[in-house]
C-alpha cells in the first residue's frame, strides 16, 4: 500500500558489488528538512544510491545534501553535484531549490549517482524534506 511513513535505501558500487540489504528509513517528517541516518551492515564502497518510495502521486521531495562518513573523512555532497534519475517523477527546477514530484501509483526508484566511488563508508545522513502538493479539483472546493 501507499504510505508517507517510510522509504528504503539500496547502496551500490560502480564495480557492481552491491550491498544486498534494503535499509528501511522510518519516521518521515512532512513539511520540514530533517536528517535521515543510515548505517550499513559493514563499511562499503559506494558510487550510487537507490531510494525506493511508495508514495501517492503529488508528494514532493527536496534533497539538500548527503553526508558520507568513513573513518578518515566526512564528505558532503550537495544536491547540485548529484545526477538524479527516475522513471516516473518530475523535476521542478528554479533558482532557489529543486523539487522532485512523485507522479506514479507504483513504486518509484530514484537513483543518486555520486559521480565517483567513496570508499569504506560506514554512515550516511540524508538531508531531505517531504511535502504534499496542494492539488485540488475545483469541484471539490
Q: Which residue has the higher pLDDT, 64 or 87?
A: 64
Q: Which residue has the higher pLDDT, 139 or 32?
A: 32
pLDDT band at 39 (very low <50, low <70, confident <90, very high): very high
- Write the DSSP symbol of residue 14: T
What pLDDT sits at residue 50?
93
| pTM (two decimals) | 0.84
What pLDDT sits at residue 21?
82
Give me the mean pLDDT over the 88-117 stretch: 79
pLDDT tens readout for residues 46-80: 999 999 988 888 888 899 999 999 999 999 999 88
pLDDT band at 35 (very low <50, low <70, confident <90, very high): very high
Q: Is 74 helix (H, G, I), strand (E, B) or coil?
A: strand
pLDDT over 60 at 1, yes or no: no
pLDDT tens readout for residues 104-130: 777 888 999 998 999 999 999 999 999
What pLDDT sits at residue 137?
53
- Write the DSSP symbol of residue 28: P
Contact partners, residue 130, CB within 8 Å, separation at least 6: 4, 28, 29, 30, 31, 59, 60, 61
Contact partners, residue 19, CB within 8 Å, separation at least 6: 10, 11, 12, 40, 41, 44
Q: Which three cell numbers stand for residue 16?
A: 557492481
Average pLDDT value over all residues in the chain: 84
Amino acid at each position: 500500500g501507499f504510505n508517507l511513513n517510510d522509504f528504503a535505501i539500496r547502496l551500490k558500487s560502480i564495480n557492481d558489488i552491491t550491498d544486498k540489504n534494503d535499509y528501511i528509513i522510518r519516521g518521515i517528517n512532512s513539511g520540514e528538512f530533517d536528517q535521515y541516518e543510515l548505517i550499513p551492515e559493514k563499511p562499503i564502497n559506494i558510487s550510487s544510491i537507490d531510494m525506493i518510495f511508495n508514495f501517492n502521486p503529488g508528494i514532493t521531495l527536496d534533497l539538500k545534501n548527503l553526508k558520507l562518513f568513513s573513518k578518515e573523512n566526512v564528505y558532503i555532497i550537495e544536491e547540485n553535484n548529484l545526477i538524479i534519475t527516475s522513471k516516473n517523477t518530475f523535476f521542478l527546477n528554479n533558482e532557489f531549490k529543486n523539487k522532485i514530484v512523485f507522479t506514479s501509483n507504483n513504486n518509484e526508484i530514484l537513483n543518486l549517482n555520486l559521480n565517483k566511488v567513496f570508499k569504506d563508508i560506514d554512515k550516511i545522513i540524508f538531508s531531505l524534506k517531504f511535502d504534499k502538493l496542494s492539488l485540488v479539483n475545483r469541484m471539490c472546493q
